Amino acid sequence: PMQSRSAYYLVVPHAKRGHPPVASFRDWLRGQVEKEPAVLAW
């Protein structure tokens, strides 16, 4: 992940984006955000 002043970014090489561990982590992360939408609204 890369950190900025107000956000984190998940950076993955294009060729690895479908790699099962990467996809699982991405899906889990999206699920966490959906459960707590307040994290998106500062």
The string of pLDDT tens digits covering residues 3-16 is 667 777 788 999 99
Write out pLDDT tens, residues 29-41: 888 888 876 766 5
The pLDDT, as a whole number, for residue 2 is 57
pLDDT for residue 21 = 95
E-assigned strands of the chain?
2-3, 8-9
Rounded to an integer, what distance in angstroms lies between the CA atom of residue 27 and that of residue 42?
A: 23
* pTM of the predicted protein model: 0.62
- C-alpha to C-alpha distance for 13 and 35, rounded to whole angstroms: 27
